[in-house]
Amino acid sequence: MQLVACENLTLGYEGEKVVSDLSFTVHAGDYLCIVGENGSGKSTLMKTLLGLKTQMAGRIEIGGGLENSEIGYLPQQTVVQKDFPASVREVVRSGCLNRSGIRPFYSKAEKQMAEDNMELLGIRMLAKRCYRELSGGQQQRTLLARALCAARKILLLDEPAAGLDPKAAADMYDLIERLNHDGITMIMISHDMEASVKYASHILHIGNQSALFFGTKKDYLESGAGHIYAGLGGAQA
């Protein structure tokens, strides 16, 4: 089932193009990694997919009955967010806000969903802890649990392992892979090329026109862009 189709997109900000003629599709169950150099337009693309920015040209189609309330988003953390003075439970439950509409409270089902997602990500014992007192890995698990409360079909992840130590980063990627195997479609921005080619089913490489690529991981590793940027050839296809 096709969830997202982008055709001939031109993206930019403040009137300046950063990438053009970008086309790709995302189907249910895919694990798409978006890679490319700094400033190539990866975060701009993700914000456009979320409806936070408007493309300069081209078309985005959302299919499969996908609604905004079924999309979870894990952005890069800011310094202010890392110091947020709320409990883990409060942060995770806030992922249900898009579902609750104008209701000033969480339903019993939403509260249970938050508890289930904390259990799934191994942070239920931290529920009463203050978010800003957690380690980087625990904070990212908390934010991923929050994103899961918003997601029913698809998760958009912007550098989910950024700033984590190698063990915490590996744990985070393993969690994301497990969620994908459980049926959540993933679209992830990553500078970690090794993780991208290990976990992704598809790669979208954006940058200058000569480096644009969309296809399976195997095809990427056999492409010119894959040889140059992944540096792995076809060995791990």
Q: Where are the domains of the chain?
A: 1-66+153-237, 84-152
Q: Is the pTM of this model over 0.85?
A: yes
Contacts of 155 (CB under 8 A, 6+ apart): 71, 72, 73, 74, 147, 148, 176, 179, 184, 185, 186, 187
Residue 172 predicted with pLDDT over 70: yes
Q: Are 175 and 141 in contact (CB under 8 A)?
A: yes
Q: For the CA atoms of 39, 2, 50, 173, what is the dihedral angle to 10 degrees?
A: -60
Average pLDDT of the segment spanning 183-195: 91
Average pLDDT of the segment spanning 6-28: 90
Hey, CA dihedral for 40, 46, 49, 53, is it positive or negative?
negative
Tell me the two tokens of residue 94: 């806030």
Q: How sure is the predictor about 84, in pLDDT bands with cuts at 50, 70 and 90?
A: confident
The whole-number pLDDT of residue 80 equals 54
Q: How sure is the predictor about 210, in pLDDT bands with cuts at 50, 70 and 90?
A: low
At which residue do the structure tokens 């089902």 appear? Answer: 109
Residue 148 predicted with pLDDT over 70: yes
Q: What is the mean pLDDT of the chain?
A: 86
Average pLDDT of the segment spanning 94-116: 82
Residue 32 predicted with pLDDT over 50: yes
Average pLDDT of the segment spanning 57-79: 81
The whole-number pLDDT of residue 234 equals 39
The whole-number pLDDT of residue 236 equals 41
Average pLDDT of the segment spanning 84-101: 84
Q: How sure is the predictor about 150, in pLDDT bands with cuts at 50, 70 and 90?
A: confident
Domain 1-66+153-237 CATH superfamily: P-loop containing nucleotide triphosphate hydrolases (3.40.50.300)
Average pLDDT of the segment spanning 106-115: 92
